Amino acid sequence: MTKLAVIMTGGKQYIVKPGDSLNIEKITAKKDGGVDFDKVLLVAEGEDVKIGAPFIAGAKVSAKTEGDIRGKKTIAMRYKNKTRAMTRKGHRQTYTKVSILDF
């Protein structure tokens, strides 16, 4: 029997299963600490499917944080023609790596 859920965190939606590991927008949680996601949009266990409107009341997904990581560097460049003016800015987003325990 497969279990899966759709959670929402950081303005994004993720499909998760127990044992999954994913990178989410940075949250304030300690390393190896527990975190619960209460914005659950869908829970499916085999043929039993519950869909929220927009969230399922009382449902939560528990996870363990594995620490913060930095994403790839993205470059933002602005160029003005005829004056040859160029501005470059770099940015690295910080993510929190979590592993899903159960729901």
- Helices then strands (H, E): number in the chain? 0, 8
d(CA 23, CA 15): 12
Is the Cβ–Cβ distance between 64 and 33 less than 8 Å? yes
Half-sphere exposure of residue 1, counting CA atoms within 13 Å on the CB side?
A: 8
What is the tally of structural domains in the chain? 1
Domain that holds residue 34: 3-102
- pLDDT (0 to 100) of residue 23: 95
pTM of the model: 0.80
- pLDDT (0 to 100) of residue 42: 94
Q: What is the pLDDT of residues 19-57, one digit of tens each?
A: 999 999 999 888 888 999 999 999 999 889 999 899 999
Residue type, 3: K
